[in-house]
Amino acid sequence: MDDNSLKVGSNEMELVDFRILNQGEDGVYEGIYGINVSKVREIIRVPHLTELPGTPDYIEGIFDLRSVVIPVVNLAKWMGITPPEGLEKDLRIIITEFNNVLIGFIVHEAKRIRRINWGDIEPATFASGSGTLDGSKVTGVTKIEGDNVLLILDLESVVQDLGLYEPDVEAIPHDLETFSGLALILDDSSTARKIVKEALTKMGFNVIEAIDGQEGLEKLEDLYGMYGDDISKHLKLILSDVEMPRMDGFHFAANVKEDGRFFDIPIVFNSSISDHFSEIRGKEAGAEAYLVKFEASTFYDEVSRVVRAHMK
């Protein structure tokens, strides 16, 4: 890993900065958006697409990429934006992979790669006013040069809208081995927290929730205030997302493992990022396992393995 590579626990991410143009009454507005580089396979010009009948209008079609069929979503259409005319020759497709799903997104321009500290990213608590896009479709916002604002889109919600990714929490059997004690979950997505909480509750845990790494550390301090040095006898598991505003999962884990009060509490990452490098970074940060959201049987098997090992 060279000096310019992201270091584990650095609380930084790299984003592909891309643009969506909106034709308004007063001219063209340039929307600035980002997606984690870890989710980007490649960026290509728009190839010939085969249309799919009976699909939403924002699905432009499919194409074959080295023997893999890729569905393509037109982000402007999904966002309810009307682009200016004459963009066809400049369009790009960002090929992404998350939740073990490959999908392409048509954008108007792929600008550059930015390195941003998660501490500079604020949770999205607003409606953007750009067509149908609202705060629920944005995972974070950050200021860039010229007092411009970059929005980090929740592209996973598109995949769920398309029915390409359906969490299968019901697949966790009802007659499984159950555990006891507390589990702390960290995720900025209320939907993801609900899924994980349901799964862990079925496994017997009492669940405490945090929305990011910073609040996760605060929850740990609260628990230490209650249980002192016996905290690991009560808190059996920490399950954390990776991408979170203010403090990401890797930075959170590095802080936990460097703290003598908490270092022996097992951490499992549960992320939509499905590249091998992120799994390596998770292990380097001190996690006992790295899971890709959300396959129920794998989730149960790995969480059970980690908790049993901690109990020995």
Same domain, 139 and 179: no
CATH number at residue 103: 2.40.50.180
Among the listed residues 269, 267, 266, the one whose alpha carbon sits nearest the alpha carbon of residue 291: 269
Q: Is residue 2 part of a domain?
A: no
Q: Indicate if 43 and 138 belong to the same structural domain.
A: yes
Residues 243 and 263 reside in one and the same domain = yes
Helical segments of 117-266, H only: 155-161, 190-202, 213-227, 231-234, 249-258
CATH number of residue 279's parent domain: 3.40.50.2300
The answer to whether residues 17 and 155 belong to one domain is yes
As for how many domains the chain has, the answer is 2
Helix, strand or coil, per DSSP, at residue 59? strand
Point out the domain boundary residue: 126, 161, 196: 161
**Domain co-membership, 49 together with 136:** yes
How remote is the C-alpha of 97 from its chain's centroid?
Answer: 11
What is the tens place of the pLDDT at every residue in 234-262? 999 999 999 988 899 999 999 999 999 99
**Domain shared by 16 and 150, yes or no:** yes
Task: Please tell me which residue, 192 or 125, carries the higher pLDDT value.
Answer: 192
Q: Give residue-wise pLDDT tens across range 40-50.
A: 999 999 999 99
Domain range spanning residue 115?
12-161
Helix (H, G, I), strand (E, B) or coil at 311: helix
Provide the Cα torsion 206, 212, 218, 221; round to 10°.
50
Contact partners, residue 59, CB within 8 Å, separation at least 6: 52, 71, 72, 73, 74, 162
Domain boundary among 117, 141, 161: 161
The span from the CA of 255 to the CA of 195, in Å, is 26
* 263: in domain: yes
* Shared domain check, 150 and 29: yes
Same domain, 112 and 199: no
Asked if 17 and 156 sit in the same domain, the reply is yes
- List pLDDT tens digits, range 7-39: 666 788 899 999 999 988 888 999 999 999 989
User: pTM to 2 decimals?
Assistant: 0.81
The whole-angstrom separation of Cα 106 and Cα 125 is: 26
CB 245 within 8 A of CB 122: yes
- Looking at the domain assignment, is residue 3 inside a domain? no
CB 164 within 8 A of CB 102: no
pLDDT at position 156 is 75
Domain boundary among 161, 180, 204: 161
Mark whether 177 and 305 lie in a shared domain. Answer: yes
